[in-house]
Amino acid sequence: MIRLLAVIAAMATAMALAPDWAAAPRMAGPIPPDRVVKMRINDPRPWEAVPMKLQDDAGRGECVASIIDTRSFRQQIVEPAPGDIQARKGRMLAPHRTPAAREDGEPNDLVAVEEVNPTETRPDALFAGISNTGWDPPDCTVAVGPNHIVSTVNTSIAFFSKTGTKTFQQPLDNSGTPGFFEPQGALNFVFDPKVIYDRIAGRFVVVALEYYSSGTAYVDIAVSDDSDPNGTWYKYRTSSVVNIGGTNYWVDYPGLGVDANGIYITGNLFDFAGTSFGGGWVRSVQKSTVLSGGTATYADLRLASGSSYQVADAWGGDRAVLVHRGTNVSLILTAINNPFTTPSAITRTVTVPSNSAPPDAGARGTSALLDTLDGRIMNAVVRDGKLYTCHAVSGSTRALARWYQVNLNSWPNTSTNAPSLAMSGSISPSSTTESTFFPAIAVNARGDVAVVHAASSTAIYPEVRAASRRATDASGTLGTPVTLASATSSPGGSGTSRWGDYFACAVDPVNECTFWGIGETRNGSGWTTAINSFTVTPSADLDGDGVVNAGDIGLLLLQFGDCACCSGDLDQNGIVDSGDLSLLLLQFA
């Protein structure tokens, strides 16, 4: 009798934990648009999404890990069926819109450079990433480890070798075998994923959001146990319901970055009724415990002013910094003091050339326009005391991708110092009808900067391009963009079509030199993603004085030997030797 009662109790518990399948039937593959419109699943475990009640805009929480081995999934690769109809993720969410950015900044004489320089971007590998999953837009990102690549989209994750062999793909939600986040409790709406490779710890880090109309929301976090994504992951389903003055808010549009001590996740706060914007938000997760699957401890901080904060992913001993567009002439940099205990924000304003939100972009063969978003910052990175970031701005009748280099001047480690703009530039194609947008920026060990971005016009199908520069190039200039991948069609219909909403660019940790990028393209079956690697060709003018002479020979000789990503490695084989000296002498003035 006792055993029977135990069985009945277990069945009752399982039924209580199960989703409301009548409201949201389980499906293998993406959710058709009609179901997206109607489905409003109730979270069966609302007690897991206890609101974070902020005191002085701050609060603390913790979450126990689910330890999951991807090799135990019944089917290692689950791809969507061809021909699935795309569904916009926004239809699952309450109405939400960030407030318009302030356009009242003081005028200045700063100019974003639009000239190109001779630096060449040399494409290398190209292979298909994840294709149309049924969700629109894809929101594609990529992370690169020593031997593997991880990519995320709405709403799937995949692992690849560096030659493009796919070893794993699953939906992020509960429609997989199981879904990537399903074992820890994720239901049928997991969106806005991002992935990075933590070069300091040698781990992949994935975040994604969940939202349910019953008033619950989550930030899902996954950390690999080593540099091979095939295997054990430590996963955390953390509530992202934030209570501000008695009103509950959920988190949208995440940013992700790390430094030596923490994982930092940013977002925008919206109330569940769709009537109020709560500002920006950052969650700081102490990294030491999650790297071994221990309890995640974290602190939240509301950033009452501003929106769409991005985390400048930090290299080496640099500290993670947040960045967002302040006004039409400013960037706001934010550092978090005491991030895991009693977080508080310190900010600095950096004056930049005047800019405004970009217009939407035209595309070949369609009356639809591609949504270039609202001028928000797209991504950022900190390396060697410099912050690099980018967004799209108005180039009058077209969108232009713009990038910035900000010298931190030892801030925030030295709190009295002020960061300053070092240079800025815009990617302005010679064809005045072409738009560039969705930039993603990265910088390698040599100081080369690369910007992966989208390009389109009524004369061309959308493309994924990259432009780059050497550290010694003229201020603000990039080389001529090269096309990494092209679409063969454009979205149909009319009005505005989602595209993106973001691309990604990363540096290969093996040589700290090769860049990898991902962007959206399109074929007859819908959207797809392209993953590329590329390099920046070095110059024999090592000191950047405009002439190849004895000074450059001296610099090259100082680098002789194993020297990955050194400026003197002209043949890019990882060694500075007589072969490089010969190449330099061929260009000797």
Residues comprising the chain, all counted: 589
In whole numbers, what is the pLDDT of the chain averaged over residues? 90
CB-CB contact of 311 with 255 (8 Å): yes
344-351 sheet: strands from edge to edge: 344-351, 330-337, 321-327, 310-314, 379-383, 386-394, 399-407, 420-427
CB-CB contact of 529 with 131 (8 Å): yes
The DSSP secondary structure of 387-433, one letter per residue, reads EEEEEEEE-SSSEEEEEEEEE-TTTTTSTT---EEEEEEEE--SSTT
pLDDT attached to residue 129: 97
Rounded mean pLDDT, 277-306: 96
Report which residue type is found at 484: L
Residues contacting residue 281 through CB under 8 Å, at least 6 positions apart: 242, 251, 266, 267, 268, 269, 300, 301, 302, 303
Grade residue 47 by pLDDT with cuts at 50, 70 and 90: confident
Tens of pLDDT, residue by residue over 210-229, are: 999 889 999 999 999 999 99
pLDDT attached to residue 493: 84
Rounded mean pLDDT, 78-84: 70
- Rg of the chain's alpha carbons, rounded to an integer? 24
Distance CA 435, CA 105 (A): 25
> Helix 550-558 to helix 578-586 angle, to the nearest 10 degrees?
170
DSSP 8-state assignment for residue 77: B
Domain with CATH 2.130.10.10 in the chain: 103-536
Q: State yes or no: pLDDT of 5 exceeds 90.
A: no
58-63 sheet: strands from edge to edge: 52-53, 242-244, 247-258, 262-271, 277-286, 296-303, 58-63
Rounded mean pLDDT, 296-315: 96
pLDDT attached to residue 102: 83
pLDDT attached to residue 111: 95
Grade residue 524 by pLDDT with cuts at 50, 70 and 90: confident
Rounded mean pLDDT, 514-529: 94
CATH class of 103-536: mainly beta
Q: Which burial class, exposed, middle or buried, applies to 237 when counting CB atoms under 10 A from its CB (0-12, 13-18, 19+)?
A: buried
pLDDT attached to residue 11: 35
Instruction: Give the range among 18-22, 406-410, 457-461 with minimum mean pLDDT.
Output: 18-22
What proportion of the chain, given as a percentage, has pLDDT over 90? 82
pLDDT attached to residue 87: 64
Q: Which burial class, exposed, middle or buried, applies to 137 when counting CB atoms under 10 A from its CB (0-12, 13-18, 19+)?
A: buried
Instruction: Give the range among 205-209, 280-284, 496-500, 577-581 with minimum mean pLDDT.
Output: 496-500
Structure tokens at 52: 């974070």
Residue found by looking up tokens 């016009």 in the block: 457
Distance CA 160, CA 171 (A): 15
CB-CB contact of 525 with 132 (8 Å): yes
Of 444, 458, 454, nearest in space to 483 by CA: 454
Grade residue 525 by pLDDT with cuts at 50, 70 and 90: confident
CB-CB contact of 335 with 322 (8 Å): yes
Distance CA 248, CA 208 (A): 20
C-alpha dihedral sign at 464, 468, 474, 480: negative
Structure tokens at 515: 């860049």
Measured CA distances, 493 to 82, 138, 302, 373, 398 (Å):
21, 18, 39, 19, 21
Residue found by looking up tokens 């997989």 in the block: 176
pTM for the full model?
A: 0.92
Torsion of CA 574, 578, 579, 580, to 10 degrees: 70
pLDDT attached to residue 94: 80
Distance CA 210, CA 314 (A): 26
Distance CA 415, CA 346 (A): 8
- In sequence order, the β-bridge partners of residue 293 are none
